[in-house]
Structure 1
């Protein structure tokens, strides 16, 4: 059994706690958070700690905090030669303090505390400085997920940027679509089968093959009609930019 502790109580930490609690190969030793009350619904209070001096040495210490706090948290860990990893998609492994063995345990998924996630299908991207540490990370990752990748810091940065495009930006498009529906007394639910089918197509087709719509067809009449309909300047500019990008991509192929 591998002993694991977590620093943090945000979205990623919540889902890791839930996953590790269900993994027979993992012993969750401690979780460090600023406020015990943020985790008492998930854990017995005796393993929730609020200060770094109470940390125990474990096989793996996971820092699951905001990107800009990783270095500071790493500096406060009162150990040397402890395997310490962060969970960020965009922070280099070198942000961790050199006094400990460093690694990355990056679950590539969108997490919300209120939405359960099946961790078995979540890709976990691993980076370590030694083969033995990589084996430890791989064992921990395989205890909760069936999808494991070895990814270095530069590749992970590329993945994170790509993830912003396919998740965060796409979700913002949903928000804009919802606003257009609301402004015109329509239910956003009407669009949900389309959203689902578009997502499903990517499971069997490449994005190039799955692309449809007026920009793909270079249907200038429909494009101009949409632009005339839109009154919000931000929506109009985004429509123009995305339309141009789709048309330009078509010319490259």
Structure 2
């Protein structure tokens, strides 16, 4: 059994980064956080998610803002989000005109972020807000990209975990970066790296893949995972496999002959 919230792996692209001894550029001693949350038909989980986010961040003594990007939800997610304003300017709500997809919603939220460290977390409560301080610690200790590795996943073996196992290997092979859990939505990145990713024209279709390729040092952090209590995932086994094979194919075309 693994213990949660420990630094499990560091993938460094530069030899000088192997010790995780330097603080990434742009990260002060007391960094501010921008929590970015893509939302699509998550009305039932938003109030609890917000409560846990605020409780975790306040308990950890972290300065923060929370940016929700409503990605064309057809339920009452937007109405719930507009009720979460705290009167202190810590909560921002973006309302996209249609459903552009999770990556576009994340990039939209990042474009409004002011923090030194940017966190991404899914809105369905399968990710645990309580794991955010561990990702922040990894960034403060020298990584410029910290990504979650879900333990004891509460998903179906045949429709989620099995396909995800294959996706991890296909994507890792395609990109040459062996992350243990490409599908985990809980990640942290320095604002400097995030802005470099966002500045690309056109913006990347897969921000996490781009972060993994551009980061100097990647920390992989073991995080918790819960069953999905509300709604259903938009990422079916078929979509996961199409995503990974498409990425593998496009990357092979980009390689010099």
TM-score (norm 2): 0.29
- Structure with more contact order per residue of length (Cα contacts < 8 Å, sep ≥ 6): 2
Q: Which structure has the larger Rg?
A: 1
